[in-house]
Structure 1
Amino acid sequence: MKHIIGIDLGGTTIKGGVIESKNLIKQIVQNTEANKGGETTLNHLKEVIRKLRTAETKAVGIGVPSVVDSERGIVYHVQNIRDWEEIHLKSILEKEFDMPVFINNDANCFAMGERIYGLGQNFENFVGITLGTGVGGGIIQKGKLLSDMNCGSGEYGEMPYLDGILEDYCGSFFFTKKNSNGYDIMQRAEKDDNKAIEIFDEYSKHMAILVKMIVLSVDPQAIIFGGAISNSFHLFEKKMYDNLTDFPFPNSIRNLKILKSKLQNIGILGASALCY
Protein backbone atom coordinates (compact mmCIF):
# COMPACT_ATOMS: atom_id res chain seq x y z
CA MET A 1 0.00 0.00 0.00
CA LYS A 2 1.36 3.40 -1.00
CA HIS A 3 2.41 5.73 1.83
CA ILE A 4 2.62 9.53 1.81
CA ILE A 5 4.42 11.55 4.48
CA GLY A 6 2.87 14.81 5.64
CA ILE A 7 4.95 17.33 7.62
CA ASP A 8 3.56 20.32 9.53
CA LEU A 9 6.64 22.48 10.06
CA GLY A 10 6.14 25.12 12.74
CA GLY A 11 8.32 27.49 14.68
CA THR A 12 8.16 25.28 17.79
CA THR A 13 7.51 21.72 16.60
CA ILE A 14 7.72 19.51 13.53
CA LYS A 15 4.68 17.26 13.34
CA GLY A 16 4.93 14.41 10.87
CA GLY A 17 2.68 11.55 9.88
CA VAL A 18 2.26 8.63 7.50
CA ILE A 19 -0.87 8.55 5.36
CA GLU A 20 -2.14 5.27 3.94
CA SER A 21 -5.32 5.25 1.85
CA LYS A 22 -6.19 8.69 3.24
CA ASN A 23 -5.82 7.46 6.82
CA LEU A 24 -3.23 8.75 9.29
CA ILE A 25 -1.57 5.56 10.56
CA LYS A 26 1.48 6.95 12.37
CA GLN A 27 2.63 10.32 13.68
CA ILE A 28 5.57 11.80 15.58
CA VAL A 29 6.51 15.20 16.98
CA GLN A 30 10.00 16.68 17.02
CA ASN A 31 11.22 19.94 18.56
CA THR A 32 12.14 22.45 15.85
CA GLU A 33 14.86 24.14 17.95
CA ALA A 34 14.45 27.11 15.62
CA ASN A 35 16.52 29.39 17.86
CA LYS A 36 19.64 27.31 17.16
CA GLY A 37 19.54 28.16 13.47
CA GLY A 38 18.22 26.84 10.20
CA GLU A 39 20.72 24.00 9.87
CA THR A 40 19.57 22.49 13.17
CA THR A 41 15.93 22.71 12.09
CA LEU A 42 16.75 21.17 8.73
CA ASN A 43 18.50 18.25 10.41
CA HIS A 44 15.49 17.68 12.66
CA LEU A 45 13.21 17.75 9.61
CA LYS A 46 15.36 15.12 7.89
CA GLU A 47 15.28 13.01 11.06
CA VAL A 48 11.47 13.09 11.13
CA ILE A 49 11.30 11.99 7.49
CA ARG A 50 13.76 9.15 8.14
CA LYS A 51 11.69 7.91 11.08
CA LEU A 52 8.48 7.94 9.02
CA ARG A 53 9.85 6.64 5.74
CA THR A 54 9.07 3.07 4.72
CA ALA A 55 9.64 1.02 1.60
CA GLU A 56 6.12 2.04 0.57
CA THR A 57 6.70 5.80 0.86
CA LYS A 58 6.12 7.53 -2.48
CA ALA A 59 6.23 11.28 -1.68
CA VAL A 60 6.55 13.92 1.03
CA GLY A 61 4.37 17.00 1.51
CA ILE A 62 5.47 19.85 3.76
CA GLY A 63 3.51 22.85 5.02
CA VAL A 64 5.49 25.86 6.24
CA PRO A 65 4.38 29.14 7.88
CA SER A 66 5.86 31.36 5.21
CA VAL A 67 5.98 32.38 1.57
CA VAL A 68 6.89 29.56 -0.80
CA ASP A 69 7.84 29.27 -4.45
CA SER A 70 5.74 26.13 -4.73
CA GLU A 71 7.00 25.22 -8.20
CA ARG A 72 10.67 25.16 -7.19
CA GLY A 73 10.09 24.42 -3.52
CA ILE A 74 12.00 27.45 -2.25
CA VAL A 75 10.99 28.75 1.19
CA TYR A 76 11.46 32.45 1.94
CA HIS A 77 11.61 34.55 5.11
CA VAL A 78 10.43 32.10 7.76
CA GLN A 79 10.02 34.44 10.72
CA ASN A 80 10.11 31.80 13.44
CA ILE A 81 13.13 29.84 12.19
CA ARG A 82 16.49 31.53 12.40
CA ASP A 83 18.49 31.82 9.15
CA TRP A 84 15.69 30.57 6.91
CA GLU A 85 15.64 33.62 4.65
CA GLU A 86 15.88 31.52 1.50
CA ILE A 87 16.16 27.76 1.59
CA HIS A 88 15.85 25.49 -1.44
CA LEU A 89 14.05 22.88 0.59
CA LYS A 90 12.61 20.81 -2.25
CA SER A 91 15.94 20.22 -3.99
CA ILE A 92 17.73 19.53 -0.67
CA LEU A 93 15.22 16.89 0.42
CA GLU A 94 14.74 15.29 -2.98
CA LYS A 95 18.49 14.82 -3.24
CA GLU A 96 18.61 13.39 0.29
CA PHE A 97 15.67 10.97 0.00
CA ASP A 98 15.33 10.39 -3.77
CA MET A 99 11.55 10.92 -3.85
CA PRO A 100 9.18 13.75 -4.83
CA VAL A 101 8.77 16.55 -2.28
CA PHE A 102 5.94 19.10 -2.43
CA ILE A 103 5.98 22.31 -0.36
CA ASN A 104 3.46 25.08 0.23
CA ASN A 105 2.42 27.48 2.96
CA ASP A 106 0.29 26.23 5.83
CA ALA A 107 -2.90 28.06 4.80
CA ASN A 108 -2.81 26.54 1.32
CA CYS A 109 -2.18 23.17 2.95
CA PHE A 110 -5.29 23.65 5.08
CA ALA A 111 -7.38 24.27 1.97
CA MET A 112 -5.89 21.26 0.19
CA GLY A 113 -6.43 19.10 3.26
CA GLU A 114 -10.10 20.04 3.26
CA ARG A 115 -10.32 19.27 -0.45
CA ILE A 116 -8.81 15.79 -0.14
CA TYR A 117 -9.95 14.70 3.31
CA GLY A 118 -12.63 17.04 4.63
CA LEU A 119 -15.73 19.08 3.85
CA GLY A 120 -14.06 20.47 0.73
CA GLN A 121 -14.67 17.14 -1.01
CA ASN A 122 -18.21 18.42 -1.57
CA PHE A 123 -17.15 21.59 -3.42
CA GLU A 124 -15.20 22.38 -6.56
CA ASN A 125 -14.72 26.03 -5.58
CA PHE A 126 -14.15 27.10 -1.99
CA VAL A 127 -11.87 29.08 0.29
CA GLY A 128 -10.20 27.64 3.37
CA ILE A 129 -9.43 30.16 6.12
CA THR A 130 -7.29 29.52 9.19
CA LEU A 131 -8.19 31.63 12.22
CA GLY A 132 -5.41 31.71 14.80
CA THR A 133 -2.54 34.03 15.60
CA GLY A 134 -2.83 35.04 11.97
CA VAL A 135 -5.54 34.78 9.34
CA GLY A 136 -4.40 32.75 6.34
CA GLY A 137 -6.28 31.53 3.33
CA GLY A 138 -6.13 29.07 0.47
CA ILE A 139 -8.30 29.20 -2.64
CA ILE A 140 -9.55 26.05 -4.36
CA GLN A 141 -10.90 26.50 -7.88
CA LYS A 142 -12.08 23.67 -10.13
CA GLY A 143 -10.94 21.26 -7.45
CA LYS A 144 -7.34 22.45 -7.40
CA LEU A 145 -5.28 24.95 -5.46
CA LEU A 146 -5.26 28.27 -7.26
CA SER A 147 -1.98 28.71 -9.10
CA ASP A 148 -0.30 32.02 -8.32
CA MET A 149 3.07 33.70 -8.67
CA ASN A 150 4.18 34.30 -5.09
CA CYS A 151 1.97 32.17 -2.82
CA GLY A 152 0.04 35.28 -1.79
CA SER A 153 -3.49 34.65 -3.05
CA GLY A 154 -6.01 34.05 -0.29
CA GLU A 155 -4.08 36.05 2.31
CA TYR A 156 -7.11 38.11 3.23
CA GLY A 157 -5.75 38.82 6.70
CA GLU A 158 -3.26 41.23 5.15
CA MET A 159 -5.96 43.42 3.61
CA PRO A 160 -5.98 47.01 4.98
CA TYR A 161 -8.85 47.43 7.42
CA LEU A 162 -9.76 50.21 9.88
CA ASP A 163 -6.54 51.28 11.63
CA GLY A 164 -4.55 48.19 10.64
CA ILE A 165 -5.16 45.01 8.70
CA LEU A 166 -8.01 42.51 8.82
CA GLU A 167 -5.86 40.02 10.74
CA ASP A 168 -5.83 42.46 13.68
CA TYR A 169 -9.59 42.06 13.97
CA CYS A 170 -10.17 38.44 12.92
CA GLY A 171 -7.10 36.81 14.49
CA SER A 172 -6.08 36.28 18.11
CA PHE A 173 -4.86 39.87 18.49
CA PHE A 174 -8.49 41.00 18.57
CA PHE A 175 -9.00 39.07 21.80
CA THR A 176 -5.68 40.04 23.40
CA LYS A 177 -6.71 43.68 22.94
CA LYS A 178 -9.58 42.80 25.29
CA ASN A 179 -7.01 41.88 27.96
CA SER A 180 -7.72 38.17 27.59
CA ASN A 181 -7.53 35.44 24.95
CA GLY A 182 -10.00 33.78 22.65
CA TYR A 183 -10.25 30.56 24.65
CA ASP A 184 -11.02 32.27 27.95
CA ILE A 185 -13.55 34.59 26.34
CA MET A 186 -15.18 31.61 24.61
CA GLN A 187 -15.55 29.79 27.93
CA ARG A 188 -17.08 32.86 29.53
CA ALA A 189 -19.48 33.38 26.63
CA GLU A 190 -20.62 29.76 26.87
CA LYS A 191 -21.50 30.49 30.51
CA ASP A 192 -23.63 33.47 29.38
CA ASP A 193 -21.17 36.14 30.48
CA ASN A 194 -22.63 39.29 28.92
CA LYS A 195 -19.28 41.01 28.40
CA ALA A 196 -17.86 37.97 26.62
CA ILE A 197 -20.96 37.69 24.44
CA GLU A 198 -20.58 41.36 23.49
CA ILE A 199 -16.98 40.72 22.47
CA PHE A 200 -18.06 37.90 20.15
CA ASP A 201 -20.85 40.09 18.76
CA GLU A 202 -18.19 42.66 17.89
CA TYR A 203 -15.95 39.95 16.46
CA SER A 204 -18.79 38.74 14.23
CA LYS A 205 -18.93 42.16 12.52
CA HIS A 206 -15.29 41.88 11.50
CA MET A 207 -15.79 38.30 10.35
CA ALA A 208 -18.65 39.48 8.14
CA ILE A 209 -16.23 41.90 6.48
CA LEU A 210 -13.84 39.00 5.86
CA VAL A 211 -16.65 36.99 4.26
CA LYS A 212 -17.63 39.95 2.06
CA MET A 213 -14.04 40.35 0.83
CA ILE A 214 -13.87 36.66 -0.05
CA VAL A 215 -17.19 36.64 -1.90
CA LEU A 216 -16.38 39.82 -3.82
CA SER A 217 -13.02 38.42 -4.94
CA VAL A 218 -13.77 34.78 -5.84
CA ASP A 219 -17.51 34.17 -5.10
CA PRO A 220 -16.98 30.57 -3.86
CA GLN A 221 -19.46 27.82 -3.15
CA ALA A 222 -18.20 27.61 0.42
CA ILE A 223 -15.90 29.08 3.03
CA ILE A 224 -14.41 26.61 5.49
CA PHE A 225 -12.92 27.92 8.74
CA GLY A 226 -10.19 26.14 10.66
CA GLY A 227 -7.67 27.06 13.33
CA ALA A 228 -8.08 27.55 17.07
CA ILE A 229 -10.57 30.44 16.87
CA SER A 230 -12.89 28.39 14.65
CA ASN A 231 -13.79 26.37 17.77
CA SER A 232 -15.89 29.37 18.78
CA PHE A 233 -17.79 29.38 15.47
CA HIS A 234 -21.08 28.67 17.26
CA LEU A 235 -20.63 31.93 19.20
CA PHE A 236 -20.26 34.24 16.21
CA GLU A 237 -22.02 32.40 13.34
CA LYS A 238 -25.51 33.88 13.74
CA LYS A 239 -24.39 37.49 14.28
CA MET A 240 -21.95 37.15 11.38
CA TYR A 241 -24.85 36.21 9.10
CA ASP A 242 -26.89 39.11 10.51
CA ASN A 243 -24.08 41.43 9.42
CA LEU A 244 -24.21 40.04 5.89
CA THR A 245 -27.80 41.11 5.22
CA ASP A 246 -26.64 44.37 3.61
CA PHE A 247 -24.48 42.58 1.03
CA PRO A 248 -25.26 44.06 -2.42
CA PHE A 249 -25.65 40.62 -4.07
CA PRO A 250 -28.02 38.65 -1.79
CA ASN A 251 -27.91 35.44 -3.86
CA SER A 252 -24.17 35.17 -3.30
CA ILE A 253 -24.74 34.98 0.46
CA ARG A 254 -27.88 32.87 0.17
CA ASN A 255 -26.06 30.23 -1.86
CA LEU A 256 -22.85 30.35 0.17
CA LYS A 257 -22.03 27.63 2.69
CA ILE A 258 -19.99 28.84 5.68
CA LEU A 259 -18.66 25.86 7.60
CA LYS A 260 -16.27 24.84 10.36
CA SER A 261 -13.66 22.19 9.63
CA LYS A 262 -14.18 18.80 11.26
CA LEU A 263 -10.68 17.48 10.61
CA GLN A 264 -8.18 16.52 13.28
CA ASN A 265 -4.42 16.72 12.56
CA ILE A 266 -5.14 19.07 9.68
CA GLY A 267 -1.52 20.27 9.52
CA ILE A 268 -0.26 16.79 8.68
CA LEU A 269 -3.20 15.90 6.45
CA GLY A 270 -3.04 19.19 4.60
CA ALA A 271 0.68 18.82 3.87
CA SER A 272 0.17 15.28 2.61
CA ALA A 273 -2.65 16.50 0.35
CA LEU A 274 -0.05 18.41 -1.70
CA CYS A 275 1.12 15.04 -3.02
CA TYR A 276 -2.19 14.11 -4.66
Structure 2
Amino acid sequence: MKRYAFGVDIGGTTVKMGFFTTGGELLEMWEIPTRTENDGESILPDIAEEVKKKLDEKKITADEVEGLGIGVPGPVGPDGTVLKCVNLGWGVFNVEEKMNALTGLKVKAGNDANVAALGEMWQGGGKGHQDIVMVTLGTGVGGGIIIGGRILAGVNGAAGEIGHIPMKEGETECCGCGKKGCLEQYASASGIARTAGKRLAADAGIETSLRDIPDVTSKDIFDAAKAGDGFALSLVDEVGKLLGKALASIACVANPEAFVIGGGMSKAGEILTDAIQKYYVEYAFHAERATEFKLAELGNNAGMFGCVKMVLG
Protein backbone atom coordinates (compact mmCIF):
# COMPACT_ATOMS: atom_id res chain seq x y z
CA MET A 1 0.00 0.00 0.00
CA LYS A 2 1.18 3.51 -0.80
CA ARG A 3 1.96 6.00 1.94
CA TYR A 4 -0.55 8.83 1.49
CA ALA A 5 -4.22 9.51 0.73
CA PHE A 6 -6.62 12.44 0.50
CA GLY A 7 -9.99 12.69 2.24
CA VAL A 8 -12.40 15.31 0.88
CA ASP A 9 -15.75 16.15 2.48
CA ILE A 10 -17.90 18.47 0.36
CA GLY A 11 -20.38 20.66 2.21
CA GLY A 12 -22.76 23.28 0.92
CA THR A 13 -20.53 26.14 2.12
CA THR A 14 -17.01 24.72 2.39
CA VAL A 15 -15.01 21.73 1.25
CA LYS A 16 -12.99 20.10 4.03
CA MET A 17 -9.76 18.59 2.73
CA GLY A 18 -7.42 16.27 4.60
CA PHE A 19 -3.99 14.91 3.74
CA PHE A 20 -3.45 11.57 5.50
CA THR A 21 -1.08 8.68 5.87
CA THR A 22 -2.74 5.42 4.94
CA GLY A 23 -2.25 4.38 8.57
CA GLY A 24 -4.96 6.86 9.54
CA GLU A 25 -2.91 9.86 10.68
CA LEU A 26 -4.29 13.24 9.65
CA LEU A 27 -1.20 15.19 8.62
CA GLU A 28 -2.87 18.38 7.50
CA MET A 29 -6.35 19.76 6.94
CA TRP A 30 -7.73 22.88 5.32
CA GLU A 31 -10.91 24.25 3.78
CA ILE A 32 -11.85 25.92 0.53
CA PRO A 33 -15.14 27.59 -0.44
CA THR A 34 -17.74 25.43 -2.18
CA ARG A 35 -18.45 27.35 -5.37
CA THR A 36 -22.00 26.27 -6.20
CA GLU A 37 -22.64 28.80 -8.95
CA ASN A 38 -23.23 27.48 -12.49
CA ASP A 39 -24.53 24.16 -11.14
CA GLY A 40 -21.39 23.59 -9.11
CA GLU A 41 -19.19 23.16 -12.18
CA SER A 42 -16.10 24.52 -10.38
CA ILE A 43 -16.24 22.28 -7.29
CA LEU A 44 -14.30 19.28 -8.59
CA PRO A 45 -11.73 21.34 -10.54
CA ASP A 46 -11.12 23.43 -7.40
CA ILE A 47 -10.49 20.23 -5.41
CA ALA A 48 -8.17 18.88 -8.09
CA GLU A 49 -6.19 22.12 -8.06
CA GLU A 50 -5.81 21.90 -4.27
CA VAL A 51 -4.57 18.31 -4.54
CA LYS A 52 -2.00 19.31 -7.14
CA LYS A 53 -0.82 22.24 -4.98
CA LYS A 54 -0.47 20.00 -1.93
CA LEU A 55 1.55 17.39 -3.82
CA ASP A 56 3.83 20.12 -5.19
CA GLU A 57 4.21 21.67 -1.73
CA LYS A 58 5.11 18.31 -0.15
CA LYS A 59 7.28 17.31 -3.13
CA ILE A 60 5.25 14.11 -3.47
CA THR A 61 4.28 12.43 -6.72
CA ALA A 62 0.88 10.94 -7.49
CA ASP A 63 2.56 7.53 -7.48
CA GLU A 64 2.97 7.86 -3.70
CA VAL A 65 -0.77 8.44 -3.16
CA GLU A 66 -3.14 5.51 -2.65
CA GLY A 67 -6.09 7.58 -3.78
CA LEU A 68 -8.69 10.18 -2.96
CA GLY A 69 -11.99 9.62 -1.18
CA ILE A 70 -14.80 12.10 -1.58
CA GLY A 71 -18.00 12.57 0.44
CA VAL A 72 -20.96 14.40 -1.08
CA PRO A 73 -24.27 15.64 0.41
CA GLY A 74 -26.54 13.38 -1.58
CA PRO A 75 -27.11 9.78 -2.65
CA VAL A 76 -24.21 8.04 -4.43
CA GLY A 77 -24.60 4.78 -6.33
CA PRO A 78 -22.15 1.87 -5.97
CA ASP A 79 -20.36 2.86 -9.20
CA GLY A 80 -19.70 6.42 -7.98
CA THR A 81 -22.65 8.04 -9.74
CA VAL A 82 -24.11 11.01 -7.87
CA LEU A 83 -27.91 10.94 -8.04
CA LYS A 84 -28.42 14.70 -7.68
CA CYS A 85 -26.99 16.92 -4.95
CA VAL A 86 -29.43 19.81 -4.63
CA ASN A 87 -27.19 21.83 -2.28
CA LEU A 88 -24.35 21.71 -4.80
CA GLY A 89 -26.41 22.22 -7.94
CA TRP A 90 -25.30 18.83 -9.29
CA GLY A 91 -27.41 16.57 -11.45
CA VAL A 92 -26.62 12.93 -12.26
CA PHE A 93 -23.02 12.09 -13.18
CA ASN A 94 -20.17 9.81 -12.16
CA VAL A 95 -18.07 11.79 -9.68
CA GLU A 96 -15.40 9.08 -9.45
CA GLU A 97 -14.72 9.13 -13.20
CA LYS A 98 -14.71 12.93 -13.33
CA MET A 99 -12.36 13.28 -10.36
CA ASN A 100 -10.05 10.55 -11.68
CA ALA A 101 -9.77 12.40 -14.99
CA LEU A 102 -8.89 15.62 -13.15
CA THR A 103 -6.31 14.17 -10.75
CA GLY A 104 -5.09 10.87 -12.17
CA LEU A 105 -5.74 9.30 -8.76
CA LYS A 106 -7.90 6.36 -7.77
CA VAL A 107 -11.16 7.89 -6.50
CA LYS A 108 -13.94 6.52 -4.31
CA ALA A 109 -17.12 8.48 -3.58
CA GLY A 110 -19.86 8.11 -0.99
CA ASN A 111 -22.69 9.90 0.75
CA ASP A 112 -21.41 12.30 3.43
CA ALA A 113 -23.32 10.69 6.32
CA ASN A 114 -22.19 7.22 5.29
CA VAL A 115 -18.53 8.20 5.06
CA ALA A 116 -18.77 9.90 8.48
CA ALA A 117 -20.01 6.60 9.89
CA LEU A 118 -17.12 4.79 8.22
CA GLY A 119 -14.67 7.29 9.70
CA GLU A 120 -16.04 6.76 13.21
CA MET A 121 -15.76 2.99 12.76
CA TRP A 122 -12.17 3.28 11.58
CA GLN A 123 -10.64 5.84 13.94
CA GLY A 124 -13.43 7.18 16.17
CA GLY A 125 -16.12 6.08 18.60
CA GLY A 126 -16.71 2.81 16.76
CA LYS A 127 -13.05 1.80 16.55
CA GLY A 128 -12.61 -1.90 17.15
CA HIS A 129 -16.00 -2.76 15.64
CA GLN A 130 -16.83 -3.81 12.10
CA ASP A 131 -20.63 -3.48 12.34
CA ILE A 132 -21.98 -0.14 13.56
CA VAL A 133 -24.87 2.22 13.00
CA MET A 134 -24.05 5.89 13.39
CA VAL A 135 -26.79 8.34 14.29
CA THR A 136 -26.11 12.03 13.71
CA LEU A 137 -28.30 14.34 15.80
CA GLY A 138 -28.02 17.91 14.59
CA THR A 139 -30.41 20.25 12.80
CA GLY A 140 -31.73 17.03 11.29
CA VAL A 141 -31.24 13.35 12.02
CA GLY A 142 -28.82 11.50 9.75
CA GLY A 143 -27.19 8.13 9.82
CA GLY A 144 -24.87 5.61 8.29
CA ILE A 145 -24.72 1.83 8.42
CA ILE A 146 -21.43 -0.08 8.36
CA ILE A 147 -21.56 -3.86 7.91
CA GLY A 148 -18.38 -5.92 7.81
CA GLY A 149 -16.31 -2.75 7.75
CA ARG A 150 -18.03 -1.44 4.61
CA ILE A 151 -20.72 1.12 3.93
CA LEU A 152 -24.21 -0.25 3.35
CA ALA A 153 -25.35 2.30 0.79
CA GLY A 154 -28.41 0.64 -0.75
CA VAL A 155 -29.38 0.49 -4.40
CA ASN A 156 -29.88 4.27 -4.64
CA GLY A 157 -27.31 5.26 -2.03
CA ALA A 158 -30.12 6.16 0.38
CA ALA A 159 -29.60 3.54 3.11
CA GLY A 160 -29.14 5.04 6.57
CA GLU A 161 -31.73 7.81 6.19
CA ILE A 162 -32.67 7.23 9.82
CA GLY A 163 -34.28 10.63 10.25
CA HIS A 164 -37.09 9.77 7.88
CA ILE A 165 -38.37 6.68 9.64
CA PRO A 166 -42.11 7.33 10.20
CA MET A 167 -42.73 7.64 13.95
CA LYS A 168 -45.99 9.48 14.64
CA GLU A 169 -49.47 9.52 13.13
CA GLY A 170 -51.51 12.69 13.00
CA GLU A 171 -48.64 15.17 12.52
CA THR A 172 -49.84 18.27 10.65
CA GLU A 173 -46.47 19.85 9.86
CA CYS A 174 -44.21 18.60 7.09
CA CYS A 175 -40.69 17.31 7.52
CA GLY A 176 -38.05 18.71 5.19
CA CYS A 177 -38.44 15.56 3.09
CA GLY A 178 -42.12 16.33 2.48
CA LYS A 179 -43.54 13.59 4.70
CA LYS A 180 -45.19 14.06 8.09
CA GLY A 181 -44.31 12.39 11.38
CA CYS A 182 -40.63 11.61 10.65
CA LEU A 183 -38.20 10.91 13.48
CA GLU A 184 -36.26 14.03 12.49
CA GLN A 185 -39.23 16.23 13.39
CA TYR A 186 -38.98 15.25 17.06
CA ALA A 187 -35.51 13.86 17.81
CA SER A 188 -33.26 16.41 16.09
CA ALA A 189 -31.89 19.51 17.81
CA SER A 190 -34.47 21.62 16.01
CA GLY A 191 -37.15 19.01 16.70
CA ILE A 192 -36.78 18.95 20.49
CA ALA A 193 -36.70 22.77 20.55
CA ARG A 194 -39.83 22.86 18.38
CA THR A 195 -41.63 20.46 20.73
CA ALA A 196 -40.64 22.57 23.75
CA GLY A 197 -41.87 25.77 22.13
CA LYS A 198 -45.23 24.29 21.16
CA ARG A 199 -45.88 22.87 24.62
CA LEU A 200 -44.91 26.03 26.45
CA ALA A 201 -47.14 28.10 24.18
CA ALA A 202 -50.06 25.71 24.67
CA ASP A 203 -49.82 25.39 28.46
CA ALA A 204 -49.08 28.46 30.56
CA GLY A 205 -49.11 26.28 33.66
CA ILE A 206 -45.86 24.48 32.86
CA GLU A 207 -43.22 25.54 35.36
CA THR A 208 -39.75 25.52 33.88
CA SER A 209 -36.63 27.66 33.71
CA LEU A 210 -36.90 27.44 29.93
CA ARG A 211 -39.63 30.10 30.00
CA ASP A 212 -36.96 32.69 30.75
CA ILE A 213 -35.11 31.92 27.50
CA PRO A 214 -36.45 33.75 24.39
CA ASP A 215 -35.39 31.20 21.74
CA VAL A 216 -34.92 27.83 23.40
CA THR A 217 -32.27 25.57 21.87
CA SER A 218 -31.57 21.89 22.39
CA LYS A 219 -28.52 22.86 24.48
CA ASP A 220 -30.74 24.93 26.75
CA ILE A 221 -33.04 21.93 27.20
CA PHE A 222 -30.24 19.51 28.05
CA ASP A 223 -28.60 22.04 30.41
CA ALA A 224 -31.92 22.51 32.20
CA ALA A 225 -32.45 18.75 32.37
CA LYS A 226 -29.01 18.29 33.95
CA ALA A 227 -30.00 20.92 36.51
CA GLY A 228 -33.11 18.89 37.40
CA ASP A 229 -35.78 20.86 35.51
CA GLY A 230 -38.78 18.52 35.34
CA PHE A 231 -40.15 19.78 32.03
CA ALA A 232 -36.73 19.56 30.36
CA LEU A 233 -36.26 16.06 31.75
CA SER A 234 -39.59 15.01 30.23
CA LEU A 235 -38.47 16.30 26.82
CA VAL A 236 -35.18 14.40 27.01
CA ASP A 237 -37.05 11.26 28.06
CA GLU A 238 -39.39 11.57 25.08
CA VAL A 239 -36.50 11.99 22.65
CA GLY A 240 -34.81 8.97 24.23
CA LYS A 241 -37.98 6.94 23.77
CA LEU A 242 -38.37 7.84 20.11
CA LEU A 243 -34.71 7.18 19.31
CA GLY A 244 -34.61 4.00 21.39
CA LYS A 245 -37.64 2.62 19.59
CA ALA A 246 -36.28 3.58 16.15
CA LEU A 247 -32.87 2.02 16.86
CA ALA A 248 -34.49 -1.16 18.17
CA SER A 249 -36.23 -1.46 14.79
CA ILE A 250 -32.96 -0.82 12.95
CA ALA A 251 -31.21 -3.47 15.07
CA CYS A 252 -33.75 -6.06 13.90
CA VAL A 253 -32.39 -5.54 10.38
CA ALA A 254 -28.72 -4.57 10.84
CA ASN A 255 -27.89 -6.14 14.25
CA PRO A 256 -24.85 -3.86 14.85
CA GLU A 257 -22.18 -4.29 17.50
CA ALA A 258 -22.56 -0.64 18.48
CA PHE A 259 -24.56 2.51 17.90
CA VAL A 260 -22.38 5.61 17.62
CA ILE A 261 -24.19 8.83 18.52
CA GLY A 262 -22.80 12.00 16.93
CA GLY A 263 -23.81 15.47 15.79
CA GLY A 264 -24.12 18.64 17.83
CA MET A 265 -26.74 17.21 20.16
CA SER A 266 -24.38 14.39 21.19
CA LYS A 267 -22.43 16.99 23.21
CA ALA A 268 -25.13 16.55 25.84
CA GLY A 269 -23.33 13.29 26.67
CA GLU A 270 -24.63 10.56 28.93
CA ILE A 271 -27.95 12.20 29.79
CA LEU A 272 -28.86 11.65 26.12
CA THR A 273 -27.28 8.24 25.54
CA ASP A 274 -28.66 6.90 28.82
CA ALA A 275 -32.19 7.96 27.81
CA ILE A 276 -31.83 6.32 24.39
CA GLN A 277 -30.33 3.12 25.77
CA LYS A 278 -33.03 2.79 28.45
CA TYR A 279 -35.77 2.62 25.83
CA TYR A 280 -33.66 0.71 23.34
CA VAL A 281 -33.34 -2.15 25.84
CA GLU A 282 -37.08 -2.02 26.45
CA TYR A 283 -37.97 -2.28 22.74
CA ALA A 284 -35.10 -4.38 21.37
CA PHE A 285 -35.33 -8.04 20.40
CA HIS A 286 -33.75 -10.07 23.22
CA ALA A 287 -30.68 -11.12 21.19
CA GLU A 288 -29.85 -7.48 20.46
CA ARG A 289 -30.24 -5.83 23.86
CA ALA A 290 -26.51 -5.85 24.64
CA THR A 291 -25.65 -3.57 21.71
CA GLU A 292 -23.16 -0.93 22.91
CA PHE A 293 -23.80 2.81 22.77
CA LYS A 294 -20.82 5.05 22.03
CA LEU A 295 -20.34 8.77 21.53
CA ALA A 296 -18.72 9.89 18.28
CA GLU A 297 -15.16 11.17 18.68
CA LEU A 298 -14.09 12.71 15.37
CA GLY A 299 -16.57 15.59 15.15
CA ASN A 300 -16.62 17.39 11.81
CA ASN A 301 -13.53 15.49 10.68
CA ALA A 302 -15.29 12.11 10.58
CA GLY A 303 -16.17 12.48 6.91
CA MET A 304 -12.56 13.03 5.86
CA PHE A 305 -11.43 9.95 7.79
CA GLY A 306 -14.20 7.88 6.22
CA CYS A 307 -13.26 9.08 2.75
CA VAL A 308 -9.72 7.79 3.24
CA LYS A 309 -11.03 4.48 4.57
CA MET A 310 -13.12 4.08 1.41
CA VAL A 311 -9.97 4.33 -0.66
CA LEU A 312 -8.17 1.77 1.48
CA GLY A 313 -11.04 -0.72 1.17
> What TM-score do you get using the length of structure 2 for normalisation?
0.79
SS at match of 1:68: coil
Deviations 1:108-161 (A, max 9, x none): 102211232124332232212222233222222223223632112222222222
Among 86, 94, 97, the residue aligned to 1:91? 97
Match of 1:49 in 2: 51
Q: Which moved more, 1:37-46 or 1:56-65?
A: 37-46
1:69-108 equivalence runs, <5 A? 69-71=77-79, 73-82=80-89, 84-108=90-114
Larger radius of gyration: 2
Distance 1:10 1:101 in 2: 18
1:173 aligns with 2:180: no
Structure 2: distance between partners of 1:11 and 1:184: 27
Letter in 2 for 1:40: S
Structure 2 equivalent of residue 4 of structure 1: 5
Runs (4+) of structure 1 exceeding 4 A deviation are none
Given the alignment of the two structures, is residue 127 of structure 1 paired with residue 104 of structure 2, yes or no?
no
Residues 206/149 of structure 1: CA separation in 2 closer, same or farther (3 Å cut): same
Contact 1:58 1:100 in 2 (8 A): yes
Which moves more between the two structures, 154-163 or 104-113? Answer: 154-163
- Worse-matched range after superposition: 41-50 or 16-25: 41-50
SS at match of 1:244: helix
Q: Report the equivalent of 1:247.
A: 283
Return the offset for 1:8: 0.9
Matched, 1:267 2:308: no
- The question of whether the paired residues in 1 share the 8 Å contact of 2:118 and 2:149 is answered with no
Cα deviations by residue, 1:81-116 (Å, 9 ceiling, x for unpaired): 22x122322111101111111000012102211232
1:162-189 per-position Cα deviation (integer Å, ceiling 9, x unaligned): 1321222222331341343323333443
| Pair 1:37 & 2:39 matched | yes
Shift of the 115–238 alpha-carbon distance from structure 1 to 2, 3 Å rule, reads: closer
Distance (Å, rounded) in 1 between the aligned partners of 2:185 and 2:124:
28
The structure in which a higher percent of residues are strand is: 1
Which deviates further from its counterpart, 45-54 or 90-99?
A: 45-54
1:5–1:52 CA contact under 8 A, matched in 2? no
- Give the distance between the partners of 2:126 and 2:104, measured in 1 at CA: 31
Structure 1 match to 2:19:
18
Does the CA contact (< 8 Å) of 1:28 and 1:48 recur in 2? no
CA distance in 1: counterparts of 2:54 and 2:187, whole angstroms: 36
TM-superposed CA distance for 1:245, in Å, is 4.5
Structure 1: stretches of 5+ with no match in the other structure: none
Name whichever of 106-115 and 24-33 sits farther off.
106-115
Q: 1:188 and 1:44 mapped to 2: Cα distance?
A: 45
TM-score normalized by structure 1?
0.89
Q: 2:273 aligns with which of 237, 243, 246?
A: 237
Deviates more, 1:181-190 or 1:136-145: 181-190
- CA pair 57-202 structure 1, distance change in 2 beyond 3 A: same
Aligned length: 273
CA RMSD of aligned residues (A): 2.2
CA contact 1:137–1:154 (8 Å) conserved in 2: yes
2:73 paired with 1:65: yes
Tell me the secondary structure at the aligned position of residue 103 of structure 1: strand
